[in-house]
A and B are shown apart, each in its own frame.
Chain A
Amino acid sequence: MTRLSAQQVVAGVRDLPTLPAVVVELIESLGKNDISAGELAVKISHDQALAAKTLRLANSSFYGMSRQVTSLADATAILGLRTVRCVATAAGLAGVMSIGSCKGFDFKAFWRHSVATALCTRGLARARRMDEETAFVVGLLHDIGRLALASCFPAAYAQVIAYQAAHDCLPLDAERFVLGTDHAVAGALITEHWRFTPAIVEAIRGHHDPFSASDAASLGDLVHIADNIAHGLDLSGTPDDIVPPLSMDAWLRLALDEGECREIFHGTESQYESVCQALLA
């Protein structure tokens, strides 16, 4: 048992690699509409690895282009500013966080589940006319606390994985029992540290216990249900995957019928492989 204090977790998160300046600027501009296409293309082009990934994602069937997108200016003109910003943010984050060595931690499965949840959160946001761009980013990052804990405390997190395997329990419960904290708390700390908007931080903190201030669905509700769907559709490719408990409050606020669910399932699965390839290559 390796109890981690809140201070240890905060200190660990601070030691994680810093995000490239471009990605920080993109995160800060999420939800703002006063950035121009030219500025955005210039920002992205400062990081050529990011530019290449953005173009690859823009060319994946995620965005269903019938012709090749060859420049960032093209990508912005065709896909729109908001989409390019979302794609670049996702590509930038995926690039930075592919780090760490923790026994038993399956990085590939981690990112595959994150991509599935991102697509599904976006689909739910579209169905409920909420911000799709923010939804995609929250879905992609909802479990980032797992990666942060595994990167900062590899030996302790290896115990979590071993405990979970031995007792076939929920990852969240294994983390709380072994570490005294969990990936939702760590995820909120790291996204706060990276200066994501409070709405994103709270959605990540609450993704296993979503909350809404009103009768309407919150961003936390979307990512909670999307996480359940991504596990339920078996998209991470892990034999012992387990669907976490569903919050009936969140389910009722979202009010999905079976037909809508099927559209979301299909939408997620039809884009899944190409986005995994574009983002994780």
Chain B
Amino acid sequence: MSKIAVGIDELAGGGVLADPVCGPQGQVLLAAGTALTERIIESLRRLGIRTLMIETPAVAEAPRSAPDAQHVHARVRVLFRHAIRTGVVNPLMHFIPPYRLGDAP
């Protein structure tokens, strides 16, 4: 698997660690293969880590075209049609579209 070094500020789209992240005493903080979430990236930044080794496919996928908002909302209405018909509240119906569209929470 090929890997590249990526600056921590360029990781907004996430990514998968190609090498483990080690602490000052050499202890493994994160194993290779860890999927980087916003929360993980933020804690690494606080530890002063500036560069990470990232698997290349994740980076190559990053600039893929944004999902179509109309399509996402239409599909969610189909999947959640029982909640819509019955009027039963389902918070997931509100959380999934912004997640799919990459909007800020």
Asked if A270 contacts B32 (CB within 8 A), the reply is no
Asked if A66 contacts B33 (CB within 8 A), the reply is yes
Asked if B82 contacts A262 (CB within 8 A), the reply is no
B5 within 8 A of A: no
Partner of B79, one of A243, A259, A266, A270: A243
Residues of chain B within 8 A of A241, CB atoms compared: 79
Asked if B81 contacts A242 (CB within 8 A), the reply is yes
Asked if B33 contacts A263 (CB within 8 A), the reply is no
Asked if B14 contacts A266 (CB within 8 A), the reply is yes
CB within 8 Å for A232 and B92 given contacts A258-B105, A262-B99: yes
Asked if A61 contacts B33 (CB within 8 A), the reply is yes
Asked if B105 contacts A262 (CB within 8 A), the reply is yes
Count the A residues whose beta carbon is within 8 Å of the partner chain — how many? 30
Residues of chain A within 8 A of B52, CB atoms compared: none
A27 and B88 CA atoms in complex are apart in Å by 37
A228 and B34 CA atoms in complex are apart in Å by 25
Residues of chain A within 8 A of B90, CB atoms compared: 228, 232, 243, 245-246
Residues of chain A within 8 A of B37, CB atoms compared: 263, 266-267
Q: Mark A47-74, 1 if CB is under 8 A from B, else 0.
A: 0000000000000010111100000000
Given contacts A229-B92, A261-B92, 12 further A-B contacts (CB under 8 A): A61-B16, A63-B33, A64-B31, A65-B33, A233-B96, A243-B80, A243-B92, A246-B88, A265-B96, A266-B14, A267-B35, A270-B16
B64 within 8 A of A: no
A244 and B81 CA atoms in complex are apart in Å by 9
Asked if A244 contacts B95 (CB within 8 A), the reply is no
Residue of B nearest to A270 (CB): B35
A–B pairs, 9, beta carbons within 8 Å:
A64-B32, A66-B31, A231-B79, A232-B93, A234-B79, A243-B90, A246-B83, A265-B95, A267-B37
CB within 8 Å for A265 and B88 given contacts A65-B32, A244-B82, A258-B105: no
**Which B residues contact A (CB, under 8 angstroms)?**
14, 16-20, 31-35, 37, 39, 75-76, 79-83, 86, 88-93, 95-96, 99, 105
A167 and B95 CA atoms in complex are apart in Å by 28
A85 and B100 CA atoms in complex are apart in Å by 34
Which residues of A from 227 to 277 have beta carbons under 8 Å from B?
228-229, 231-234, 241-246, 248, 251, 258-259, 261-263, 265-267, 270
Asked if B33 contacts A64 (CB within 8 A), the reply is yes
A219 and B76 CA atoms in complex are apart in Å by 27
A109 within 8 A of B: no
A267 and B16 CA atoms in complex are apart in Å by 12
A170 within 8 A of B: yes
A64 and B35 CA atoms in complex are apart in Å by 9
Asked if B82 contacts A64 (CB within 8 A), the reply is no
Residue of A nearest to B20 (CB): A66
Asked if A263 contacts B79 (CB within 8 A), the reply is no
Residues of chain A within 8 A of B99, CB atoms compared: 261-262, 265-266
A168 and B90 CA atoms in complex are apart in Å by 19
Most chain A beta carbons < 10 A, residue from B32, B79, B81:
B79
Residues of chain B within 8 A of A65, CB atoms compared: 32-33
Partner of A246, one of B17, B75, B76, B92: B92
A233 and B31 CA atoms in complex are apart in Å by 27
Most chain B beta carbons < 10 A, residue from A232, A244, A258, A263:
A232
Identify the 6 closest CB pairs spanning chains A and B, nearest first: A64-B33, A66-B32, A246-B90, A232-B92, A270-B35, A258-B105
